[in-house]
Chains A and B, each alone.
Chain A
Amino acid sequence: MTDIAVAQSEAASVPKGWQPHIVALVCNWCSYAGADMAGTTRLEYPAAVRMVRLPCTGRMSPLMILKAFEQGADGVLVSGCHPGDCHYVQGNLVARRRFTIFRSLMDFIGIDLRRLHFAWVSAAEGHKWARVVTEVTAAVTEAGPLPSFEGAGEWEGIELPALTGDGPQELDAAALDAVGSHLRQAASEVLTTGRAGVVIGYGAGSLPDRTVPVFITEAADSDRLVWGDGCRNNLAVYAHKMLETHERVAVVAKTCDLRAVASLIREGQVGRDRVVVIGVQCGGIHDGGELAGKCWTCTGDPHPFCDLVVTAEGVHDSGQDPSEAVLDLPDARDEQIAYLESLPHAERWRFWQRQFNRCLRCYACRAACPLCYCTSCIADKHRPQWISTAIDNPGNSAWNIIRALHLAGRCSGCDECVRACPADIRLDLINRKLTLEVERQYGKIGLDPEQKSALVDFRMEDGEEFIL
Chain B
Amino acid sequence: MASSWKLSEVQLREWLGGLLDANDVVAPVLEDGVLLFRRISSAEEAVIEASGKTRWSPKEFLFPRSEALYRYNFTGETVQLEDPPAPTKHLVLFGVRSCDAAGIVRLDEIFLSGARDRLYAARRENTTVVSTACAAADAECFCTAVGGSPMGEEGSDVQLVPLDEGWLLRVFTDTGRDLVSGATDGWTAATASDGKRLSELEKEISEQIERSQVKREWSKILEEGFESPAWDRLAQHCLGCGVCAYVCPSCSCFDMNHEANAFSGEQCRSWDACTFALFTRHASGHNPRATRQERYRQRVLHKFAFREEDEPFRCVGCGRCVALCPAGLDIANAVVAAVEAIREEGADGAR
Contacts and interface: CB of A to CB of B under 8 A. Distances in A.
A395 B240 CA distance: 21
Given A391-B65, A391-B271, A210 B328 contact: yes
A391 B270 contact: yes
B257 A360 contact: no
Contact of A420 (B33, B236, B326): B326
Interface in A209-229: 210-215
Interface in B224-252: 236-237, 239-243, 245-247
Interface in A402-446: 416, 419-420, 422-424
A368 B56 CA distance: 19
Contact of B237 (A207, A213, A360): A213
A87 to B, nearest CB: 29
Given A368-B239, A391-B270, A360 B326 contact: no
A422 B255 CA distance: 21
A381 to B, nearest CB: 10
Contact of B241 (A363, A382, A389, A423): A363
Contacts of A361: 65, 242, 246, 270-271
A206 B326 contact: no
Interface string A90-122: 000000000000000000000000000000000
Interface string A229-246: 000010001100000000
B333 A206 contact: yes
A367 B326 contact: yes
A154 interface: yes
Given A233-B327, A364-B326, A420 B31 contact: no
Interface string B140-180: 10000000000000000000000000000000000000000
A314 interface: no
A388 interface: yes
B33 A360 contact: no
A345 interface: no
A390 interface: yes
A225 to B, nearest CB: 14
A208 interface: yes
Nearest to B326: A420
Nearest to A211: B328
Nearest to B245: A362
Contacts of A71: 261
A215 B323 CA distance: 21
Contacts of A367: 239-241, 326
B322 to A, nearest CB: 7
A208 B139 contact: yes
A213 B32 CA distance: 30
Most buried by B among A211, A382, A390: A390
A424 B324 contact: no
B260 to A, nearest CB: 10
Interface in A123-168: 154, 157
Contact of A389 (B33, B255, B328): B255
A423 B55 contact: yes
Contacts of B326: 233, 364, 367-368, 416, 419-420
B243 A388 contact: no
Contact of B257 (A214, A366, A390): A390
A452 interface: no
Interface in B270-304: 270-271, 273, 276, 278
Most buried by B among A233, A361, A388, A395: A361
Nearest to B320: A422
Nearest to A426: B32
B246 A422 contact: yes
Given A207-B323, A213-B328, A380-B278, A354 B32 contact: yes
Interface in B304-351: 322-324, 326-330, 332-333
11 contacts: A157-B32, A207-B140, A211-B328, A213-B237, A215-B236, A366-B241, A367-B240, A389-B268, A391-B271, A420-B241, A424-B34
For the complex of A and B, 10 pairs with smallest distance between CB atoms: A367-B241, A420-B326, A212-B328, A391-B65, A367-B239, A364-B241, A362-B242, A206-B330, A390-B66, A213-B237
Interface of A: 71, 154, 157, 205-208, 210-215, 233, 237-238, 354-355, 358, 360-364, 366-368, 380, 382, 385, 388-392, 395, 416, 419-420, 422-424
